[in-house]
Structure 1
Amino acid sequence: MTTKLSLASLPAITTAAKPTYSRADLSPGIVHFGVGNFHRAHQAVYLDALFNSGEGHDWAIIGAGTRASDAAMRDALSAQDWLTSVVEQEADSSKAHVTAVMLDYLEPGDSQAVIAALTDPAIRIVSLTITEGGYYIDPASQKFDPTHPDIAYDAANFAAPKTAFGLILAGLVKRREAGIAPFTIMSCDNIPGNGHVTQNAIAGLANLIDPALAEWVHTAVAFPNGMVDRITPATSDREKAILAEQYGIEDAWPVFCENFKQWVLEDHFPSGRPALEKVGVQFVADVAPYEHMKIRILNGGHATIAYPAGLLDIHFVHEAMEHPLVSAFLKKVESEEIIPIVPPVPDTDLNDYFALCEQRFANPKIGDTIRRLALDGSNRQPKFIIPSALDRVSAGDGVMGLALVSALWCRYCYGTTESGAVIEPNDPNWDRLTAQARKARDNPAAWLEMGDIYGALAGDPAFVAAFTHCLTALWANGTTATLEAYLADRL
């Protein structure tokens, strides 16, 4: 017997922790773009804890989305009064709680409704989790691309924009016209300097409309940088079944995640902010060391295990960590090539941080998939792997391990695993990547022709030689033998 999640059914749920606050006592203070699993397991959970403490009830969330796929999430959450079941899992424990921090989710595509919400003086923060690929960044330069068709559309149709950045800018303009102070814009995505990147995107769009507007964005609007961290897999029928069987709750889109969570923020919120420091958020003067560590070690680690595991037909991340070659490959690349070039982080031992990452990756209950880690390599490799390789070649250090990570990505994009199983498209640029990977089978340099991804690294002789050697070995000897050779220092 299960209970369908809703406000009316909350009293009947006894297997999960429930909000101690009343939804009637909440009022909106945040508009959030990208109501996906990570947001509901991270920002929403911190707010839920704050609301449960009796504070911050004027900081509830209104959701917003810009993609057609956002409608499915909206429909699922609407049917359960915007509630979410969050299940935190470790190897020896599992616990569930229900969050109720979202008051509404605006219809995707209704630009006027979104702009109206953004103009409300009660909205003092606009936050985003739109993925690494959602910021219109040129992969090679890592700078905003004002020529992207989506951005060009918004510049030409500013009264009814389609992107999150167009909508946010339109809201800012309406507020300025009405004499309302601008809201703070807070990115919660895994991008180095995510506040700066978001500022460049919105100011870059503004510059296409009016350079004076762009200057106002730069001077009047706050964009704090932040580092976010919590492993949160995609929801499948597996998670829904576990929630129903173990907790008796029927939730159309529950969130499963690890116990660990971290959020480090610059304290730059001129229009006010919730007291998140009371529920574990770290407010610091400079987020850069924390985000550098996380993106290079944790996200880079995910990228390191994703492609060899995918080629070896491994499904779950914890299964990859149980594979002796994959886990040893991760440790060797991290200890020899990534960690040595990560700058110091306050009150943090980088080797201890990596050991914690290994423990988190190995969590057998989390259900994170290799396919999720391998998703969108064309956007993730330039952020998580290529910068480490660039730093190493600039210092004259070896890059065999990082070159092998890149070669494994190339081999994965060929589209078949070592067993011959077809790898379904797993990147917005899959057709292009597959075409280049097939050329690179006989001519490894063809993969590095993607200058928009590899940038200066594509022309570095040391990296080109290492990549060529690794990809040639993968095709000649296979993934297993190549990993064995690398681990034995025979590659």
Structure 2
Amino acid sequence: MTTKLSLATLPALIGVSAPRYQRSDLTAGIVHFGVGNFHRAHQAVYLDALFNLGEGHDWALVGAGVRAADEAMRQKLMAQDWLTTVVEQEADASAAHVTGAMIDYIQPGDSAAVIARLADPAIRIVSLTITEGGYYIDPASQRFDPTHPDIAWDAAHFEAPKTAFGLILAGLLRRRDAGIAPFTVMSCDNIPGNGHVTENAVAGLAALIDPDLADWVTSSVAFPNGMVDRITPATSPREIALLAANFGVADNWPVFCESFRQWVLEDNFPAGRPALEKVGVQFVPDVAPYEHMKIRILNGGHATIAYPAGLLDIHFVHEAMEHPLVSAFLRKVEAEEIIPVVPPVPDTDLNDYFALCERRFANPKIGDTVRRLALDGSNRQPKFIIPSALDRIRDGKSVIGLGLVSALWCRYCYGTTDSDAVIEPNDPNWDRLTAQAHKARDNPKVWLEMADIYGDLAKAPDFIDAFTKALHSLWTQGTARTLEAYLADRL
């Protein structure tokens, strides 16, 4: 028998912890764009823990979205009073708890309602998890792209913006005109310098409308940088069924994740912030070292195993880690080419951090999929892999392993695995990538001509050579034999 999740049924849950605070005591302090699984397993969990201490009850979350698909999530959460069951999975244990940090979710598409909430003086932070591809930045230069059609629309129709940045800017403008201090804008996405990137997007849009407004944004609004980390797979019928079977909870959209979580933030919140340091958030003067470590080693590691595993028809990430060639490939690329170009991190041994990542990747309970890791390579490769390769080229070091990582991505985008199974579209730019990958089969350099992705790396002879040899081997020898050659230093 299962219990349908709601505020009324919380006392009936058995073996599942519930909020120790009264939801009626919470008031909104944060509007969050992008109420997906990661947000509900990360920021919302930290806030829920703080509320359980009896503190910060004026920092509850209000959800917001700009995609039509966000309405489906809103409906699912509204049906259970905005509650979420978070299931933490380790190899030898599972634990479930219900979080109640969200108290409302504005209907996607209702720009007026979003702007009105953003103008409310009670809202002091606006946060975002809109994915790496949601910031309108050129992949190669990592600069804001003011020519993107969505941004051009918002600049021309500022009275009814469609993007998160247009809505944020409209809310800030209304606050300025009303004499209300601006809120802090906090990105929670895996992007190097995510605070700077967010500032460039908001100020860049403002510059298209009014240069004085852009100057005010730059001088008056805080955009703290932050590093976030928790492996959180997508929810499927599998997770919904597991929750019902193992914990007796019927949740429309539960979140399954690992028990590990980390959040490192710059303490730059002029409008105030919740006391998140009491629940494990690290506040530091400079996030960059932590960010580089996580993005290069963990996210770069995910990108390293995603494409060979996908080409070998491996479904789950822990199964990829069980494959001797894939796990050895990861270990060699990390040890020889990624970790050596990661700057030092305070009180952290980078090799120990990678060992932790390996254990996390190998967690059999998570159910993380290779397909999720392989998603959106056109936005992730320029952030997770290409910077390490550029640093190696700058230092005159080998890029054979990173060239192979890129060749594996190219081969994956061809659209078939080594067994000729079809790879369904897995990138917003899939059609373009597939067309380039087909051309690159006979002329590998064509793949590197995507200057918006590879930038200056495409001009580096050593990288061109490494990529060309790797792609040729993948097509003539296959993935497994190519990995064997690399591991034996024969590639």
Q: Does 1:15 align with 2:15?
A: yes
Counting only pairs closer than 5 Å after superposition, residues 49-448 of structure 1 correspond to structure 2 as: 49-448=49-448
Q: CA deviation at 1:289?
A: 0.2
Name which of structure 1's ranges 7-16 and 174-183 shifts more when overlaid on structure 2: 7-16
Separation of aligned partners in 2, 1:354 and 1:242: 30
What code does the residue aligned with 2:10 have?
L
SS in 1 for 2:478: helix
Any idea what SS the aligned residue of 1:48 has? Answer: helix
Alpha-carbon distance between aligned partners in 2 of 1:255 and 1:483, rounded to the nearest angstrom: 34
Deviations 1:421-480 (A, max 9, x none): 000000000000000000000000010010110000011111001100000010010000
1:85 is paired with a residue whose SS is strand
Deviations 1:7-59 (A, max 9, x none): 11111112200000000000000000000000000000000000000000000
Q: Secondary structure at the match of 1:98?
A: strand
Distance (Å, rounded) in 1 between the aligned partners of 2:74 and 2:403: 41
How far apart are the structure 2 equivalents of 1:485 and 1:466? 13
Normalised to the residue count of structure 2, the TM-score between the two structures is 1.00
C-alpha distance after superposition, 1:141-191 (max 9, x if no partner)? 110000000000000000000000000000000000000000000000000
Separation in 1, partners of 2:419, 2:236: 25
The 1-side partners of 2:285 and 2:185 are apart by 17
Q: Say which SS state the counterpart of residue 31 (structure 2) adopts.
A: strand
Distance 2:298 2:188 in 1: 16
- CA shift, 1:225, in A, is 0.2
TM-score by length of 1: 1.00
Unaligned runs of 5+ in 1: none
| Residue-by-residue CA offset, 1:307-360 (whole Å, 9 max, x unaligned) | 000000000000000000000000000000000010000000000000000000
Encode CA deviations 1:267-301: one digit per residue, 9 max, x unaligned.
Answer: 00000000000000000000000000000000000
CA distance in 2 between partners of 1:112 and 1:314 (Å): 46
Task: Report the alpha carbon displacement of residue 302 of structure 1 after superposing the two structures with TM.
Answer: 0.1
Structure 1 runs (4+) greater than 4 angstroms displaced? none
Aligned mates of 1:443, 1:153 — CA distance in 2: 38
SS of 2:328's partner is helix
CA distance in 2: counterparts of 1:380 and 1:8, whole angstroms: 42
| Percent identity for Structure 1 against Structure 2 | 81
- 1:304 is paired with a residue whose SS is helix
CA distance in 1, matches of 2:223, 2:451: 30
SS in 1 for 2:94: strand
Kindly provide the CA deviation profile for residues 359-384 of structure 1, in whole angstroms up to 9, marking residues without a partner as x. Answer: 00000000000000000000000000
Q: CA deviation at 1:238?
A: 0.6
Structure 2 residue matching 1:368: 3-state secondary structure: coil
Per-residue CA deviation, residues 379-432 of structure 1 (Å, 9 max, x unaligned), is 000000000000001110000000000000000000000111000000000000
Q: Which moved more, 1:33-42 or 1:10-19?
A: 10-19
Aligned partner letter, 2:477: N
**For residue 187 of structure 1, what is the amino acid of its counterpart?**
S
CA distance in 1, matches of 2:78, 2:29: 20
How many residues in Structure 1 have an aligned counterpart in Structure 2? Answer: 491
**Aligned Cα root-mean-square deviation (Å):** 0.3
Counterpart amino acid of residue 265 in structure 2 = L
Distance 1:72 1:434 in 2: 30
**Which residue matches 1:471?**
471
Aligned partners of 2:449, 2:119: CA distance in 1, in Å?
Answer: 45
